[in-house]
């Protein structure tokens, strides 16, 4: 068996490991609110989320194409570059999981891809316009939109409650059932965006390894077996649940009730589904976290534990540069050794 085939197998295995960790790490995005509000037990919520994540992962490939061909010049990407990118993303995800911080798996992977590619081929190998349009700009805009939509939706719901003079206990009882819908939508949207990132990386590896071939000018297509493998792996990761991060998002930012969980999930899921449609590899972590903050701010700014938020923001800001550096160093060391 040739070195290329062995390296390709190693890269695909590492990519699926990343997908599993992604589901494990980002499980909190879909179920933190529904667990913290006690609408579902942890076991029920994890299984519920895994099924919806799987279905969401099968709904499109726009984000996968952005990752696979939009961020960097695919012709400059080798199996070693992809290996280093995945290694950096996995290291960062494990570190932030140990710290209980909801960082972005998407940005970790993108940072890793940028670092190794730049060391190998220089900055000119980066598609700067696409990077700015579909990664950098959304990285700053999506948290703002998440906060704003969560804040506005919660205000609208509160306005209706005041008009109809509903009792808080009665409202929360009704929203316990309605939150099942918003939680399902959140899990579905997470699968539609996050699972696709690994699809793009594996397909890129198959091209780099010579298994797939693309004619000049042809579209970057994702094979069905790659789609299924990533969907199943993410669902499996979700079923194992990252409880430390669930605790941070569900309890430490604000104390959630079903009505708040519904508002946060619905606003976040809507933004993520729009991003998936336009092929934007959005950070689902950023969106749901800031939606929770927006919802919390509606009833009292002090209800949000801003010291916890500050730690989360630091992790967000550091993700791309940290993974870029880890990946760049990894590629340089491998290049020197080989």
**Regions of the chain where pLDDT drops below 50:** 245, 249-253
- Do 135 and 281 form a contact (C-beta atoms < 8 A)? yes
How far is the C-alpha of 10 from the C-alpha of 3, rounded, in Å? Answer: 10
CA distances from 24 to 195, 214, 233, 260 (A): 12, 33, 10, 24
- Do 294 and 146 form a contact (C-beta atoms < 8 A)? yes
- Do 86 and 112 form a contact (C-beta atoms < 8 A)? yes
- Do 115 and 73 form a contact (C-beta atoms < 8 A)? no
- Do 32 and 287 form a contact (C-beta atoms < 8 A)? no
Burial of 163 from C-beta contacts in 10 A (0-12 / 13-18 / 19+): exposed
Residue 123: strand, helix, or coil: helix
Percent of the chain exceeding pLDDT 70 equals 84
For the chain, first and last CA: distance in Å?
Answer: 19
Note the pLDDT of residue 307: 63
Note the pLDDT of residue 250: 45
Closest residue by Cα to residue 291 from 269, 312, 313: 269
CA distances from 155 to 166, 298, 299 (A): 15, 7, 9
Note the pLDDT of residue 164: 74
What is the helix (H) or strand (E) element at residue 180, kind and residue range? Answer: helix 168-208
How far is the C-alpha of 308 from the C-alpha of 328, rounded, in Å? Answer: 30
For residue 72, what are the β-bridge partners? Answer: 126
How far is the C-alpha of 171 from the C-alpha of 257, rounded, in Å? Answer: 10
| Chain mean position to CA 233 | 14
Note the pLDDT of residue 114: 96
pTM of the model: 0.82
Closest residue by Cα to residue 153 from 25, 269, 27, 308: 269
Residue 72: strand, helix, or coil: strand
Residue with tokens 């993974």: 323
Check the CA dihedral 286-291-296-302 and report its sign: positive
Note the pLDDT of residue 52: 87
Note the pLDDT of residue 168: 65
- Do 280 and 63 form a contact (C-beta atoms < 8 A)? yes
How far is the C-alpha of 238 from the C-alpha of 270, rounded, in Å? Answer: 21
Burial of 251 from C-beta contacts in 10 A (0-12 / 13-18 / 19+): middle
Q: What radius of gyration, in Å, describes the C-alpha atoms of the chain?
A: 20
In degrees rounded to 5, what are phi and psi of residue 72?
-130, 165
């Amino acid at each position: 068996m040739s070195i290329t085939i062995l390296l390709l197998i190693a890269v695909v295995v590492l990519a699926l490991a990343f997908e599993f960790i992604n589901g494990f790490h980002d499980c909190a995005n879909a179920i933190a609110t529904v667990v913290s509000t006690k609408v579902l037990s942890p076991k029920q919520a994890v299984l519920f989320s895994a099924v919806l994540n799987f279905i969401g992962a099968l709904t499109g490939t726009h984000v996968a194409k952005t990752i696979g061909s939009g961020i960097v010049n695919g012709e400059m990407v080798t199996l070693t570059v992809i290996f280093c990118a995945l290694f950096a993303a996995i290291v960062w995800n494990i570190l932030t999981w140990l710290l209980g911080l909801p960082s972005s798996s998407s940005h970790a992977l993108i940072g890793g891809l940028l670092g190794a590619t730049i060391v190998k081929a220089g900055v000119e190998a980066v598609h700067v316009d696409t990077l700015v349009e579909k990664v950098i700009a959304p990285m700053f805009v999506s948290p703002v939109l998440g906060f704003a939509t969560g804040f506005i939706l919660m205000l609208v719901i509160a306005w209706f409650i005041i008009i109809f003079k509903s009792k808080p206990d009665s409202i929360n009882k009704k929203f316990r059932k309605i939150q099942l819908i918003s939680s399902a939508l959140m899990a579905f949207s997470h699968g539609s965006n996050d699972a696709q990132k690994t699809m793009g990386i594996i397909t890129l590896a198959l091209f780099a390894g010579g298994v797939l071939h693309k004619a000049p000018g042809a579209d970057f297509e994702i094979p069905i077996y790659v789609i299924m493998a990533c969907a199943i792996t993410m669902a499996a990761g979700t079923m194992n649940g990252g409880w430390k991060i669930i605790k941070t998002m569900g309890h430490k930012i604000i104390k959630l009730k079903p009505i708040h969980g519904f508002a946060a999930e619905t606003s976040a899921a809507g933004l993520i589904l729009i991003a998936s449609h336009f092929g934007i590899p959005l950070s689902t972590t950023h969106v749901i976290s800031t939606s929770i903050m927006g919802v919390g701010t509606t009833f009292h700014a002090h209800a949000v534990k801003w010291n916890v938020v500050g730690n989360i923001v630091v992790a967000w800001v550091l993700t791309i540069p940290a993974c870029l550096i880890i990946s760049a160093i990894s590629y340089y060391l491998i290049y020197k050794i080989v």
